[in-house]
Structure 1
Amino acid sequence: MPAPKLFEWQTWSTAYLDQDGQLLRLTLADDETYRLETQLEDVSDALIQAALLYEDKDFYDHSGVDFSAIGRAFWHTYVVKNRQIGGSTITMQVARMSTGIDSSHIPGKMQQMLYALWIEAHYSKQEILTAYLNHLPYGGNIEGIEAASLIYFNKPAAQLNTAEAMALAVIPQNPSKRSPLTTTGYTHLMEARARLLQLWQEEYGEDTYGKNKQLTQWFDLPLHFRSPRQLPFEAPHFVNHLQQTRPYAQNRLLTSIKLPQQKRLEAWVDRYLSNTQTLGYRNASVLLLNHHTMEVEAWVGSADFFDDEISGQVDGVTAKRSPGSTLKPFVYALAMDQGLIHPLSLLKDTPSRFAAYTPENYDLAYAGPINATNALITSRNVPAIRLAAQLNTPNLYQLLEQAGVTDMKARNHYGLSTVLGGMETSMLELVRLYAMLANLGKFQSEQLIHSQALRVKENTLLTPESAWLTYQMLSQNPATDQRVLSKATNASLTDGSSSNNPIAWKTGTSFAFRDAWSVGFDDQYVLAVWVGNFDGEGNPNLVGRKAAAPLFFNIFRDLQSTKVQSARVQSPKVRRTKESNPVDLTLPPEQLGLNVKKVDICEATGFLPGKHCPMTVKSWFIPGVSPIKTGNVFRAVPVNIQSGKRACRHQPGKTRLDVYEFWPSDLSRLFQMAGIQRKQPPEYEADCQLEQLSADATPPRITTPVKGLVYFLTEDEEQLPFEAILDADVKHAYWFLDGSFIGKSTPNKPLFWNAKPGHYLLTVTDDHGLTDSIELEVQKI
């Protein structure tokens, strides 16, 4: 005969545990029963001995049926009729539990005996005992020794002591009468355990237990049983996510969560929202990831899972929302990878138009010329959009695609608005991206299951150099003002760029003030904070730096303080690590193997300093990649001592050499708009020759029309603007089409030409006689 199927219909619970084995949640099996599968080697010897002694002392000696026990049971039940005795062996009980046989009458008992013999013919004693221990009833909807041990005593069955083991051993014989959760049930349970203790002593003697105490002394201590209603329900959104992504997980699942971290972050969220409730935002989500191990150590999906008024069961960690400006760092990283900028490159923050898209800054103002680092940490929109428009392959959309951002529409659906949060992402996706910066360009997926071996697939999406430079830029972002929250929570913050443990971070604010973000990382953790309302209600207080950053820094400083204290008391010999060559961001770049160097940069221009640059600063650059060239803004010009005008040439005694700033016309206009005065060169003397004027001058550069574009007309004639960037002392630009003069313009003011279809050579010539030319093609639609 084939082997009988044992409990093949059975489904199991899952015990979700934190990294240290603390229970987060115990789920129900499909039949609403708590039932955990375990192996015989994972059950304490005391429980196994107690169960065999109480239920089937000769288990290893019979072939499934103890006929002498059956005879005694028949005699007492049907002949003497003094009490009902079952006489079932452990194998017979497995037969009954597995098949549902009614063994309360003689035919059923005979069927049970035959089935037990059949089981014994095909299964080992260990397999039968394992099946038995996994399906014993322990009262209510609790089955199996592992579930009973975890629920009642908050420990696995392997850790049961003798007193606890004997208590659990006697419950299955009468689980309703001996329920440990009622007063009378507890009394009956203790009485049955006392009888088992007597059997134990007769069989094994008076064993010692614990610190030289007799076994009976431990049995005088009360046992504390936990009710299933008291089971923990920790990290609810995280466990729900695991259930959705791993629906067939069984038994004990050791997750990446660290319960102390989880509770710490939940407390910070609750405290923060309580102290800021007058500001109108009612919810927050937080995610903490260890970028050394890529393990998620805390996952706070909402402020209160059970609060329906805030839609608390919605998971803010996986929900798609506008990320605001939190994606800007990746534009700068790509731009540095592609040789467009270095950290101190001068960028333009001016009103700009990109086809039909006209971006604006958050404050509706413009900073004019601004270096890349300041543009990033002050979150200027226009410079970021300008950089994004210049990116080649990969661009920001392609980087997000490679990083696994889901539910993306076609690239042209977003255009350049992706930089400012036009594409929705989840907090989990953002944390992955920032972890890539922390891991020097290596993109890795997060780990939700704890393992001593780091098994993470790596995909390099940025060079280590550009990722590290972005980290350096973001770490200069100062911490937000914390006075209100610090007073309320007795917390204090230092600057965000602390030399000991810098935090590289960025804020984000979505359109219409629906979402406030703060995301960043230090040498170990990536932390993301979202503050808002799940109903999408706008609120002018929902600004990243004001709403999310205070909570972000309170959590991060708490983490850093805890980490320092832990490092002081924890011995390196017992410190558990599973990092696979983790990046230590506190090391200098040469020890990280980075191809970066520091050079002197002219502070005002972002170029290599010429001999007349008034002030230099140190800037990182990537040799062979970063756009490093010598600037021509600061020039020494001869000035006539008597007239004060610019001389044609230097004549010692008659002229002196003074340094002036020769900013191109577009930047000169930005300085004027920003109210910044620059030292302009004086006019030339009247008798200077053209070749003298152009000796140190910078040639003009045509910016409109754009080189390589074809311009289409809807009418027979339409006006097309001609515009060029001119040197600082140029007063006019002269325009020619195919050698024919068509007009002149002044700096920062275009010349409008009545365009006609055709192919032309467009040339501009400035006052110094310097020129620039492009080919222009105009077509009729």
Structure 2
Amino acid sequence: MSSSPDRRRARLRAAALRIGAVAALYLLCFRIAPRLSPYAGQAALDSLRFSVVVLDADGGELQALPVGDGLRRLYVPAASAPPELERLVLRAEDRRFRLHPGVDALALLRAAAQNAGDGRTVSGASTLSMQVARLLSPRPRTMGAKIAEAWEALQLESRVGKSGILDLYLNLIPFGRNVEGFGAAARVYFGASLDRLTRAQLMVLCVIPRAPARYDPAESPEAARDATLRLAAAMGDDPARAAEATDEALSSALDGSRGGVWPFRAPHYLAYLRSSGALDGIDGKEPFRTAIEPALQSWLEDLAARTVDEARAKRVTNAAALFVRPSDMRVAAWVGSVDFHDAEGAGQVDGVTMRRQPGSTLKPFLYALALESGWDASTVIPDVPTDFGGAEVYVPANFNNQFNGPVRLRQALASSLNIPAVYTLERIGVEPFANFLVADGFRSIDEQRGSLGLGLALGNAEISLFELVRAYGLFMNDGIPAALNDGGGLSPYAADEKAIVDPRVAALVRDILTRHPDRTLAFGRGGHGRLKFDGAIKTGTSNQFNNIWAVGFTSDLLGGVWMGNFSGSTVVGTADSGYPAAMLSSTLEAFSSHEPFPPLSGLEKRRVCALSGMAATDACPHALEEYFLPGKGLLPCDWHGSGPSGVTVRYPQEYRTWLSRYRYASASTAKTADLRIARPVDGAVFYLDPSAPIDGQEFLVEAFGSGTGSLSMDGVTYWSGAFPAKVWLPLIRGAHIVDASQDDGSLTEIEVETR
């Protein structure tokens, strides 16, 4: 009797061993071996990318970028998809999905029986896992390929699990119309996001992947209806209600040729983001949010088009605009042309990144460097007829063809006077100014070093609107060069960026640009450059008038506008920068807060003579307050004096020609002056023009002094007579000493070099 329980226990142990062996075999065949063996589709799985959905600052869609060849694939996590969708997909494609390991043996047996009985393939028995394996590793439809898909389905399931397989299927399955996945299909077939579709619309989508051309609800509504109703029947839906819901869903289907399904906003900005690498490494599973402000973007697109239409009579055919928020330099609006789709007008050219001559818009940077080099806002600069250059004499003129004599640096910048700018650059040096511009982000300047000259003061180098607007951030961000911020968590500043000018200098330049009364020398008291609130507009025109610019800012908005044409072959015909200035002015009016800038800090106010810029004395008829760095020494004005007939004025010798031109009989020039070589500056470097004969290439030396004297180079006298002196000396390769001497024995010298 005791042996019976022993036999039962033995049988139970044997059964347990058999079950364990089967389980072990199952795990080995369907889990361990697939997991440990190399997976052919791993590279495709790892590199899987979805359409990057780029959003504006308010969350509106700018574009859903194709993943390649126009194909769009919108990622929708399976967990976020409508719950009904999973049930519909599994009923339509793989009802035992939750039970099999990736291959459905029962479905294989059923398919084999059906195919054998019919004499052809009527059932494929592919599970969702096998379909995903085929999507990741496409192969010709052969029996060997089917076996490979089955094995790879097991491998996939062992790696990503059931939820991962479902997620991949919902996002990779092809739907025709150049889209993959249910998210993109919902957009092209019904013009809505997946979560807004009805149950019937979801069922229509579920049948399309079987044969997208055959079941297209717009192209083949009857076939799509029959397939959808079969799915509804399989789901146990009431036939009458299912038919009504299906008909309603089919009536809402979009024609495949219908446009506007995919938003195409800010196209030049999106092209920039792609080319700049800002979207590199983004897999598209999360949207990329930019700082584009939709209202500002639309405003500028419309305003640019209207302004170009108004200016066509002056042969202006295009415009571009870039606006940023200076607090973090985030890009708020980017308009590359008036019509991206205008092939005849080269609308796909991006005027924001295109390089053109910027005219006077570079002057603030020149004077910032001058202030950083020890000049003051009251430093007087001669605005008199002047020639610059060597073999080819450069004679700049002001916008209004007038000469204003002595002007303070503040006036020269605010009124955008040309001659003072060139005079300043000659003393500061082209190379230091080019270095300064490069440090502030003008990379294009670095590529043009061999061709730069004094014309750089007037913007004869080619730069982009992108560089210009970014560089103006220097005056809004304490003298630190600022990178543009594209949103998406990008930092507006490089970690190692440091101020290239004293923050107080940056603020002082900003103050000069925003003080409208200082503009009256050239612009009068009106015009678009005069804002009704705290802000500034700086205009520029290239020397052929084929590029007109305006750049400006308030405390919370910085932007620039370019107008002209992309061919560069036609001209505007007049230096009318009023068009871009008007665009800029109205935009600043509409989209900035008009909050004033904070008061200048860290600077001292001093009273200076309005004419000489020196410390005002009782003899000075007009005095004003100016800002200086603390501790700055300031000599008393020696231009004004008192005599029997009242106040007398004595101008330095360099103003003699100007005084004669404008017949200032009551003024005089000094007969004596401290001996000095006014130009070139000590350490100046000149470059021989390789395209011109060496003989005849010269540089100008200008000297002031008292009485008579001489000018020499390397001991050879080139001039003698009464000061002031203006002499052309030959350019000779190498280093040279230029000296000026007076007959009283005084001597001064500078060193120059010719390369």
Range into which the TM-score falls when normalised by the shorter chain: 0.7 to 0.9
Equivalent residue runs for 1:502-581 within 5 Å: 502-543=534-575, 545-560=577-592
Match for residue 618 of structure 1 among 608, 625, 633: 625
Shift of 1:272: 0.9
Equivalent residue runs for 1:15-164 within 5 Å: 15-19=52-56, 20-30=58-68, 33-36=71-74, 39-41=77-79, 43-74=81-112, 78-79=116-117, 84-100=122-138, 112-152=149-189
What's the C-alpha RMSD, in Å, of the aligned pairs?
A: 4.6
Match for residue 667 of structure 1 among 655, 660, 670: 655
* Equivalent pair of 2:482/2:493 in contact (CA under 8 Å): no
* Equivalent pair of 1:302/1:316 in contact (CA under 8 Å): yes
Corresponding residue for 2:350? 315
Label 1:539 to 1:477 Cα distance change in 2 as closer, same or farther (>3 A).
farther
Corresponding residue for 1:580? none
* Equivalent pair of 2:539/2:581 in contact (CA under 8 Å): yes
* Equivalent pair of 1:516/1:542 in contact (CA under 8 Å): no
Q: Deviations over 1:76-102 (max 9, x none)?
A: 555489994444321122233334456
The reply to whether residue 292 of structure 1 matches residue 327 of structure 2 is: yes
Label 1:400 to 1:233 Cα distance change in 2 as closer, same or farther (>3 A).
same
Equivalent residue runs for 1:346-425 within 5 Å: 346-356=380-390, 357-361=393-397, 362-391=399-428, 395-407=432-444, 408-409=446-447, 411=449, 413-425=451-463
* Equivalent pair of 1:634/1:661 in contact (CA under 8 Å): yes
CA distance in 2, matches of 1:710, 1:76: 94
Corresponding residue for 1:630? 636
Corresponding residue for 1:460? 499
Shift of 1:442: 1.2
* Equivalent pair of 2:607/2:626 in contact (CA under 8 Å): yes
Q: Deviations over 1:306-361 (max 9, x none)?
A: 3233222222221221111211110111111122121x433211122334152311
Q: Deviations over 1:652-682 (max 9, x none)?
A: xxxxxx432233333355344344564669x
Question: Which moves more between the two structures, 115-124 or 599-608?
Answer: 115-124
Q: Deviations over 1:377-434 (max 9, x none)?
A: 3321110111122227982101122233234346453122211223211111111111
Label 1:163 to 1:339 Cα distance change in 2 as closer, same or farther (>3 A).
farther
Corresponding residue for 1:240? 271
Residue 660 of structure 1 aligns to a residue in which SS? strand
Corresponding residue for 2:465? 427
* Equivalent pair of 1:669/1:748 in contact (CA under 8 Å): no
Shift of 1:146: 3.4
* Equivalent pair of 1:94/1:131 in contact (CA under 8 Å): yes
Match for residue 488 of structure 2 among 439, 450, 457: 450
CA distance in 1, matches of 2:247, 2:746: 97
* Equivalent pair of 1:53/1:200 in contact (CA under 8 Å): yes
TM norm structure 1: 0.74
* Equivalent pair of 1:508/1:544 in contact (CA under 8 Å): no
Shift of 1:512: 1.9
Q: Deviations over 1:477-521 (max 9, x none)?
A: 58999xxxxxxxxxxx98645464x23221111122221111122
Structure 2: 5+ residue stretches without partners: 1-32, 521-525, 687-693, 713-717, 730-735
Corresponding residue for 2:27? none
Residue 443 of structure 2 aligns to a residue in which SS? coil
CA distance in 2, matches of 1:261, 1:555: 8
CA distance in 2, matches of 1:552, 1:707: 38
Question: Which moves more between the two structures, 290-299 or 703-712?
Answer: 703-712
Shift of 1:549: 2.0
The reply to whether residue 4 of structure 1 matches residue 39 of structure 2 is: yes
Shift of 1:462: 1.8
Q: Which has the higher helix share?
A: 2
Shift of 1:532: 1.1
CA distance in 2, matches of 1:227, 1:541: 48
* Equivalent pair of 1:325/1:419 in contact (CA under 8 Å): yes
CA distance in 1, matches of 2:319, 2:701: 50
TM norm structure 2: 0.77
Shift of 1:235: 2.2
Corresponding residue for 1:474? 513
CA distance in 2, matches of 1:5, 1:317: 45
Corresponding residue for 1:490? none
Corresponding residue for 1:588? 599
Aligned residues: 675
CA distance in 2, matches of 1:436, 1:128: 52
* Matched residue type, 1:473: I
Label 1:169 to 1:609 Cα distance change in 2 as closer, same or farther (>3 A).
same
* Equivalent pair of 1:349/1:368 in contact (CA under 8 Å): yes
* Equivalent pair of 1:509/1:543 in contact (CA under 8 Å): yes
Corresponding residue for 1:172? 209
Equivalent residue runs for 1:153-232 within 5 Å: 165-182=202-219, 184-185=220-221, 188-189=223-224, 223=252, 225=254, 227=256, 229-230=259-260, 231-232=262-263
* Equivalent pair of 1:287/1:300 in contact (CA under 8 Å): yes
Corresponding residue for 2:23? none
* Matched residue type, 2:408: N
Label 1:124 to 1:266 Cα distance change in 2 as closer, same or farther (>3 A).
same
Shift of 1:369: 1.7
Shift of 1:18: 2.7
CA distance in 1, matches of 2:329, 2:582: 25
Q: Deviations over 1:245-289 (max 9, x none)?
A: 338554254344334433321111111111222121111121222
Q: Deviations over 1:158-180 (max 9, x none)?
A: 77675654443333234223324
* Matched residue type, 1:664: P
Q: Deviations over 1:438-469 (max 9, x none)?
A: 22311121123433876654332222111111
Shift of 1:531: 1.2
Residue 298 of structure 1 aligns to a residue in which SS? strand
Corresponding residue for 1:328? 363
CA distance in 1, matches of 2:113, 2:700: 113
Label 1:442 to 1:161 Cα distance change in 2 as closer, same or farther (>3 A).
farther
Question: Which moves more between the two structures, 666-675 or 456-465?
Answer: 666-675
CA distance in 2, matches of 1:752, 1:142: 73
CA distance in 2, matches of 1:15, 1:364: 54
Equivalent residue runs for 1:256-295 within 5 Å: 256-295=291-330
* Equivalent pair of 1:509/1:515 in contact (CA under 8 Å): yes
* Equivalent pair of 1:12/1:34 in contact (CA under 8 Å): no
Corresponding residue for 2:741? 762
* Equivalent pair of 1:734/1:743 in contact (CA under 8 Å): no
Corresponding residue for 2:748? 774
* Equivalent pair of 2:605/2:628 in contact (CA under 8 Å): yes
Q: Deviations over 1:573-627 (max 9, x none)?
A: xxxxxxxxxxx862223xxxx31233322222222211222222222222235x6
Shift of 1:4: 2.4
Residue 537 of structure 1 aligns to a residue in which SS? coil
Label 1:46 to 1:5 Cα distance change in 2 as closer, same or farther (>3 A).
farther
Residue 360 of structure 2 aligns to a residue in which SS? coil
Shift of 1:140: 2.9
Label 1:672 to 1:164 Cα distance change in 2 as closer, same or farther (>3 A).
farther
